[in-house]
Amino acid sequence: MTYRQIWGGVSAAALAIGLALAGGSAAGIAAEKGPAAVDAKRIIAADKEPGNWMTTGRTYGEQRFSPLKQITQDNVGKLGLAWSYKLDIDRGVEATPIVVDGVMYTTGPFSMVYALNAKTGELIWKYDPKSDRERAGEACCDAVNRGVAVWNGKVFVGVLDGRLEAIDAKTGQKVWSVDTRYDTNRSIAITGAPRVVKGKVIIGHGGAEYGTRGYITAYDAETGKQVWRFWNVPGDPAKPPENKAMEIARKTWTGDAFVVRGGGGTSWDSMAYDPDLNLLYLGTGNSSSWNPRIRTQGKGDNLFVSSIVAINPDNGEYVWHFQTTPMDPFDFTATAHIILADIKIDGKTRKVLMQSPKNGYFYVLDRKTGKFISGQNIIPINWSKGLDKNGRPIMNPEVEYWKDPERKPVLVQPAFWGAHDWQPMSYNPNTGLVYIPTHIMSALYQDVDGIPPRRKFKSVYQLDVNTGMMPEDPDGLRKYADTWSGKLMAWDPIKQQKVWEVPYSTIFNGGTLSTASNLVFEGTADGRVVAYAAETGKKLWESPANTGVMAAPITYEIDGEQYVTFMAGWGGAFATFAGPLSLRAGVKPNAQVLTYKLGGTATLPPLKYKYADRKPEAPELHATPQQVDAGRDLFNANCSPCHGINGISGGVLPDLRTLSAENHEAFPGIVMGGRAYNGMPSFAGELSPEEIENVHDYLIMRSHQLEKAMASGENLENYAPAGMSKP
């Protein structure tokens, strides 16, 4: 089906609904501007077009709240599948779709872009940016993408390998492409969704774990020309600071070790915009490296890591900042979803900004000045003893691992995936509640001396911290991770207290959507899509998804029918790295778009898992214990971010304990040559033949362990939490 056919039917009808309210002409706009005819006026007036979802948070304020009311608490139980669409690659799916005038624009793994008929699910066009998949190993985490932006007939996507590209919304052809990386030797990747403000496409990047300097950049939407760049952390102290913001930030860093490690502070996800104040708000990420003793001699706040920063979108100039975790020694990024709202506090309506970052607190700030209004922890935490009157956390000395001369491991809660990560929360102005996908997790942190860079990417520095997540670590993963869980929480931002919660068995459940009929929609890690009553948390509807769901759903309307769409597909950081824990969810990757409506009668396609029924086929092990130990360390440094703890990737990539006899025979050649189509780089010249053989010996040992456990029916307790292993 062509775009012209779509426009002539579904799109014109959908546009007419919104423009009638705004006093416009659907036919006139269609003829004049064509597809994806989005501009600032339409986004600012989004409530006049409730049938569309024109930017990633629906509005610039990113509330992820829809005024649509056709689907109610009384009839939501009648939701059925309207249509589904299978994405090309079964990896993690984290995108928020955009729906404009009857067309859905969304992304899948490796930054592939799809334009679909939002009423039927038929493909209009597909665009593959041909991401450099060999560099997927540099990306944190997995080959995911969180969606596109649309503006003036163009669709914008950030590509995993660091490019930003503009696509013609009608034809699906590339219009322009820019490389956003400041240093092509650094591990810079894009997984976040762009935003468009005043004709500028704004995009950040990831890579703080791997040694890069954070920044956010604005490009002209028509030409791709760079307009401005805002650096989040300072550069080489031997050189002049780039601007006022870097003058402020430089005073909070000590030494120059951070220059080699990049400093971090990457803006890899959330942004929001207030058109009245003309302020763009961005969240910044963790430090690089995590260990402040190595990074900055254990001194200073290290601005602007783990901060919320307000800048002028016209020129990228600094306005204010609020740092959620000074110095950030724990990977407590502040890149989580930012929401803007006007709420009444102490009898006065305040323009506020709300965020619940990884560190476990929920913050309410004055969005004009950045001043702290209130904050409270949403889960039990032990790294901080509370917040002072300015919102600065009071550090618990007992968790300051970098100061311990004996370098003992300390337990920290929450840990590196936080109490709330990237999965979007939503705000319902009717209930006054924020709906937060919440984690309960802890891990050990231990000071170590400068873990060397990953061998393949020489700029890529590890964390300089042992987080208790190393393979077969009995005092880390097994002892504490069995307590990890998740929940959906309704939070009152005025009273700073929980109203209700729904517990889940594992972390990394989906983002949320709330609606004017007081419904909350969320997908789950164990393969369901669910609707709850927004006031009470009572479950009103659920349906199987045949995979774990991480992304936040959206809702839209076409020809008088309301639809709810979930982007479904298990993967991402949790599933790839923490494979044994991921298996608790009992799901496999199955990348797809699932769209529901009242009375829908479509059938959910069956899951065909390509790694099903694999069993160990390892040769005999002839290596010494020392060689196996060396292989374990090499595997951890070079392979575990993608292949998971102990080689168990949680189903996203094949379980390396179940390599076929043929692949065991070809193992050195696979590692030397790589498998670029799957994102695996070549390690030729990076790992020696002896080191590759050591890694292979380690995997052979793991395979024999699995084979023995399968034969006996025992849990694999030598390397996974009790009850979590599923061969």
- Cite the active site residues: 331
Query: And the tokens for 285?
Result: 């990420």
Alpha-carbon span 709 to 721, nearest angstrom: 14
620's CB contacts (< 8 A; 6+ apart) are none
Mark out the alpha helices in 485-596 (DSSP H runs): 572-577, 579-582
Nearest alpha carbon to residue 685 among 676, 672, 675: 672
Q: Amino acid letter at 721?
A: P
Q: Amino acid letter at 561?
A: E
Structure letter (DSSP) for residue 11? I
Distances (CA, A) of 560 to 50, 102, 215, 285: 11, 12, 43, 42
Would you say 603 and 124 are in contact if contact means Cβ atoms under 8 Å apart? no
Alpha-carbon span 204 to 428, nearest angstrom: 28
Would you say 381 and 413 are in contact if contact means Cβ atoms under 8 Å apart? yes
Query: Which helix H or strand E contains 633, and what residues bound it?
Result: helix 625-638
Q: Amino acid letter at 550?
A: M
Query: Which helix H or strand E contains 522, and what residues bound it?
Result: strand 519-523
**Pairing mode, strands 149-151 and 123-127:** unpaired
Would you say 632 and 706 are in contact if contact means Cβ atoms under 8 Å apart? no
Would you say 570 and 547 are in contact if contact means Cβ atoms under 8 Å apart? yes
**Pairing mode, strands 512-515 and 65-66:** parallel
Alpha-carbon span 487 to 485, nearest angstrom: 7
Q: Look-up: residue for tokens 């590759």?
A: 692
Buried b (16+ CB within 10 A) or exposed e, 523-555: bbbbbbbbbbbbbebeebbebebbbbbbbbbbb
206's CB contacts (< 8 A; 6+ apart) are 139, 140, 188, 189, 190, 191, 192, 266, 268, 285
Alpha-carbon span 85 to 593, nearest angstrom: 5
Give the sign of the dihedral formed by CA 683, CA 685, CA 691, CA 697.
positive
Query: And the tokens for 549?
Result: 């769901």
Query: Which residues are paired to 443 by β-bridges?
Result: 412
